Amino acid sequence: MNRSLTPILLLALGACAQSGLEEVDIAADEGEVIEGEFIINTEVPAEIAEDLGLVELDWDETLGAGLFYTDQELSRVAIEASLKERVRGGLSVESNRPTRASGTDPYRWIQWNMDMMDIETAWTYSTGAGTTVAVIDSGVSWGGSDAPVNLVAGWDYVGNDGDPSDENGHGTHVAGTIAQATDNGEGVVGMAPDTTILVYRVLDRWGSGSVYWTAKAITAATDNGADVINLSLGSSWGSSTERNAVEYATASGVVVVAATGNAGKNSVDYPGAYEDTIAVGAVGADKSVASYSNGGSHIDVVAPGGESGRDVNRDGYGDGILQQTISGYEFFDGTSMATPHVAGLAALLVSAGASPAEIPILIRTSAEDIGGAGWDTWSGYGLIDPVAALASVTAPGSGGEDPDPGPVEDTTAPVISEIAGERQGNSLTLTWSTDEPATSEIEFQGFGMYGNDSDYVRSHAQGFSIDVNVSYTFRMVATDEAGNQSIGDWWISNP
């Protein structure tokens, strides 16, 4: 099927407003309706139709009913009451209701993640129309018949040729979770099918890139109108350039969503660890945090990330996240797969009218608490709940204060890096760094422990007297103020 066809979703956000004809309370269970359209089982005389502002759109003798429309703010109950006063015989007035294609995307039933998101209900609030999500990744393929309908090329920072087509598959999968073509009779669905995907390629065909090009793409996406930026990538090390790019984006009103990483460690990768991002961990089909998902003090929420080695829902397939890639439909796992669920939700919230400042708060406060009570280091505020978040956009007091997680226990050990040694004559000076203030201790193999166990710094140095002809072995020990300790690998200084 031609991917340029726009999926049609019939949406109505509530019942018609109350009529001035009669003081009637609209039933709370009126449900989703097509605003202004009514099915009436009797022909309406012209003078009555004129009084009510009713226009006959269609009449069917076999059905014994017709479809009528009015642009007046009339409730179904008010129209029925008025007709009963002036038309003899039994009659009924029904609101016309939307229907949607059932199962037109043949692999939708395998998408347990979209069931977990209750995505069809979320679409009754918003489908992401009028929003732009920048996917900064390995690019996106334009060739798939189920590709996102609205794709816009940003730039290729790998080949620097302007064509951000995907040669890896990762970015295409990510973009699909956000905005796969939906209700088009092919494949699977996406979170926000009517959003526009703005594509930047910063990862090569092997999935490798750099923080510089990531930072460059973040600022470019911001300048080119992105509402949301998806960063399903990361590094154990932060960069001031990358952090500045994220701060530039959020200061410009862009919601930045990033993965926590897949090492199963208690610290979030960068850019997810920057304060201005929404850091996303992963859960499997049973809502438990995936074993590979990084946690730590910077995690915000979790979303479906998949575990292909399990089949919790017993559908005959591993519980990965299914989307189209450059090699067909594939199951992928990872916090990279969880992140676009949150980016897609952010697009739905933007489309529903939430402000950029409200969106992180709405996502956190509406999340389902799946770990210990309140915020915790592995699931953050909990599993995202799109329906609850979208319902909160129009609720009284929505967009309030961020939830207070209470005291956050520091359980993340310092990371030791940049170890170097300089020998001059019979002197050796060792230097190293830590990603947070920590003590400066060294285990000098064969000689014991040396250093300062009371001062907490990031830049460390130790000097020793040595024999110029001998090799020496050391390892660094770093302890932060919370008592978390890390011990580096053995490091050898040769003559």
What residues are annotated to the active site? 137, 170, 336
Name the β-bridge partners of 423.
428
Buried b (16+ CB within 10 A) or exposed e, 195-219: bbbbbbbbbeeeeebebebbbbbbb
In whole angstroms, give the CA distance from residue 283 to residue 290: 5
Report residue 479 as tokens. 């302890």
Report residue 47 as tokens. 């003078």
Residues making up the chain, counted from first to last:
495
Q: Are 187 and 329 in contact (CB under 8 A)?
A: yes
Report residue 63 as tokens. 């059905």
Q: Are 51 and 30 in contact (CB under 8 A)?
A: no
Q: Are 379 and 305 in contact (CB under 8 A)?
A: no
Spell out the SS3 assignment of 166-200.
Answer: CCCCHHHHHHHHHHCCCCCCCCCCCCCCCCEEEEE
Quick one: 11 exposed, middle or buried, by C-beta within 10 A (0-12, 13-18, 19+)? middle
Q: Are 339 and 301 in contact (CB under 8 A)?
A: no
Beta strands in 378-494 (DSSP E): 416-424, 427-444, 448-465, 472-479, 485-487, 491-493
**Which of 7, 8, 26, 30 minimizes the C-alpha distance to 17?**
26
Report residue 410 as tokens. 């520091």
In whole angstroms, give the CA distance from residue 352 to residue 360: 14
